[in-house]
C-alpha cells in the first residue's frame, strides 16, 4: 500500500487544481480532468479518453465512449469481439453508458457488432428506452449504420474455448488463481492474455471527470467466458456494473457479475459516497455487504469496484487480491494501482 500512497501523494501534487465547488455543503477543491478504469489494460484506454479530456470543452461522455471503443477495437484483447465465447461458441457482448444528466443506455446479448458501447450510446440518445437486448439490439445497430462483423473467434479465444471444451466445466476463473499480479509484473501495457490463452479479465469499466466538472461512465464486456447462452452480467445493468450521479460520483465494477447485481453494486457505492464516504471506503462498504451474503463462497470469486467522486478523488476495493485499476490525470501519466481487498 506504500506504493499506492506514494503514488497518490505524487499524483495529487502534480494535478492541476482548477476550481473549487460547494459539495455536500462544504467547499472543496476539484482535481480534473481525470479518468480511472478497471485493470491494467486501462492505461491505453485512459490515453484514448484523454484525447477528449485534454480539451477544455471535451466531454466526459465522449471520453469514456472513446476509451471503451479503444479496447473493443483490440481484437486480440479480452473485451469486445476478441473475447471468450459462451459455451456454445458465440461471443455475446454487453455494454452500458451513463452521462452527467442521468441519461443512460445499454445493450446486452449483442452479437457480431464491434462497438457495443456506441450502440448503447445510440440507444441513450435516439430512443425513448434505456436497454435493448439480443436480436432487437442487433437490428437496431444495423439500422443505425453499425456493420455486422464475421462470426469468427479470435485466435486466442478459439484456443481458450478448445481448452475449455475438454472439460466443459463452468467455473469462472478468479484472478487470484492466476499468478497474482502477473499482468502488473509484465508492465502496464502487457497483453491481458496468459500463455494458455486465458485472460485475467473480460471487462473494461471507466469513469471520467472532465474540465467542466462533469462525470460520465462506460462499461463494456464479452461477459464471463463460457457462460450459458443468453447470460447477461452486471456490466450493462445501470446501477449494477455502472452508475453515475453528477452531484456525487461515478462507479463501475469488474468481476463476477451475478454478485454485483445482487447488491446493485455501483449504485450502492455511489450512495455511500453521497453519505460522505471517501471513494475507497464506499467501495469497501459495498464489498463487505457482498461478502456478508456468503463469506465462504466469496473466497472463490472476484469483484472489484472503482469509484471517482465529484472532487476528482478516487478509490477501489475488491473481494480478493489481484484486482488493479488505472488512473490518468494528464496524457502519458497513467499509473496502475493495486486495489486493497477484503481477503488478504
Of 57-65, 135-143, 163-171, 197-205, which part binds ligand SD4 (CB under 6 A)?
Answer: 197-205
Instruction: Tell me whether residue 59 or residue 201 sits nearer to ligand SD4 (CB atom).
Output: 201
Among 223, 249, 315, 340, binds ligand SD4 (CB under 6 A): 223
Of 63-71, 140-148, 248-256, 290-298, which part binds ligand SD4 (CB under 6 A)?
Answer: 248-256
Among 99, 112, 202, 313, binds ligand SD4 (CB under 6 A): 202
**Per-residue buried b or exposed e for 183-222, using 16+ beta carbons within 10 Å of the residue's own CB:** beeeebebebbbeebbbbbbbbbbbbbbbebbbbbbbbbb
Binding flag, residue 65, ligand SD4 (CB under 6 A): no
- R_g of the chain, CA atoms, integer Å: 18
Of 3-11, 84-92, 251-259, 328-336, which part binds ligand SD4 (CB under 6 A)?
Answer: 251-259
Instruction: Tell me whether residue 49 or residue 79 sits nearer to ligand SD4 (CB atom).
Output: 79
Cβ distance 280 to 256 under 8 Å? Answer: no
* Active-site pick, 38, 92, 203, 339: 203
Q: Taking Cα atoms as reference points, which of 167, 152, 175, 206 lies closest to residue 34?
A: 206
Binding flag, residue 217, ligand SD4 (CB under 6 A): no
Does the active-site annotation cover 127?
Answer: no
Shortest reach from residue 255's CB to ligand SD4, in Å: 5
Binding flag, residue 257, ligand SD4 (CB under 6 A): yes
Contacts of 305 (CB under 8 A, 6+ apart): 251, 252, 253, 265, 266, 269, 283, 286, 287, 316, 317, 318
Largest CA distance in the chain: 59
Q: At what angle do helices 60-72 and 42-53 cross, to 10 degrees?
A: 140
Of 47-55, 65-73, 206-214, 253-261, which part binds ligand SD4 (CB under 6 A)?
Answer: 253-261
Cell of 303: 469483484
Among 235, 316, 320, 328, binds ligand SD4 (CB under 6 A): 235
Measure the CA–CA gap between 104 and 232, rounded to whole angstroms: 18
The contact set with ligand SD4 (CB under 6 A) reads: 201-203, 221, 223-224, 233-235, 254-257
Positions annotated as catalytic residues are: 203
Amino acid at each position: 500500500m506504500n506504493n499506492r500512497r506514494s503514488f497518490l501523494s505524487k499524483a495529487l501534487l502534480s494535478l492541476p487544481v482548477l476550481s473549487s465547488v460547494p459539495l455536500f455543503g462544504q467547499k472543496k477543491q476539484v482535481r480534473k480532468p481525470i479518468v480511472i478504469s478497471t485493470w491494467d489494460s486501462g492505461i491505453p484506454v485512459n490515453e484514448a479518453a484523454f484525447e477528449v479530456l485534454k480539451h477544455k470543452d471535451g466531454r466526459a461522455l465522449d471520453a469514456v465512449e472513446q476509451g471503451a471503443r479503444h479496447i473493443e477495437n483490440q481484437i486480440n484483447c479480452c473485451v469486445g469481439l476478441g473475447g471468450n465465447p459462451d459455451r456454445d461458441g458465440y461471443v455475446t457482448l454487453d455494454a452500458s453508458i451513463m452521462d452527467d444528466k442521468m441519461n443512460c443506455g445499454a445493450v446486452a446479448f449483442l452479437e457480431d457488432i464491434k462497438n457495443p458501447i456506441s450502440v448503447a450510446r445510440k440507444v441513450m440518445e435516439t430512443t425513448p428506452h434505456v436497454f435493448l437486448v439480443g436480436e432487437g439490439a442487433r437490428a437496431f445497430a444495423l439500422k443505425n449504420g453499425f456493420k455486422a462483423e464475421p462470426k469468427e473467434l479470435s485466435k486466442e479465444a478459439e484456443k481458450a474455448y478448445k481448452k475449455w471444451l475438454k472439460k466443459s466445466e463452468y467455473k469462472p476463473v478468479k484472478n487470484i488463481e492466476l499468478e497474482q499480479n502477473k499482468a502488473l509484473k509484465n508492465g502496464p501495457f502487457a497483453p491481458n492474455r496468459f500463455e494458455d490463452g486465458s485472460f485475467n479479465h473480460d471487462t473494461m469499466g471507466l469513469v471520467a471527470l472532465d474540465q467542466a466538472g462533469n462525470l460520465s461512465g462506460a462499461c463494456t464486456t464479452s461477459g464471463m467466458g463460457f457462460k450459458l447462452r443468453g447470460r447477461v452480467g452486471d456490466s450493462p445493468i445501470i446501477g449494477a456494473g455502472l452508475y453515475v450521479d453528477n452531484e456525487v460520483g461515478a462507479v463501475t465494477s469488474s468481476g463476477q457479475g451475478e454478485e454485483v447485481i445482487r447488491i446493485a453494486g455501483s449504485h450502492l457505492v455511489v450512495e455511500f459516497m453521497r453519505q460522505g464516504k471517501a471513494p475507497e471506503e464506499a467501495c469497501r462498504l459495498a464489498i463487505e455487504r457482498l461478502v456478508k451474503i456468503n463469506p465462504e463462497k466469496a473466497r472463490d470469486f472476484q469483484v472489484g469496484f472503482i469509484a471517482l467522486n465529484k472532487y476528482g478523488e478516487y478509490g477501489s476495493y475488491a473481494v480478493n487480491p489481484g484486482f488493479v485499476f488505472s488512473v490518468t490525470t494528464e496524457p502519458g501519466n497513467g499509473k496502475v494501482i493495486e486495489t486493497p481487498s477484503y481477503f488478504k
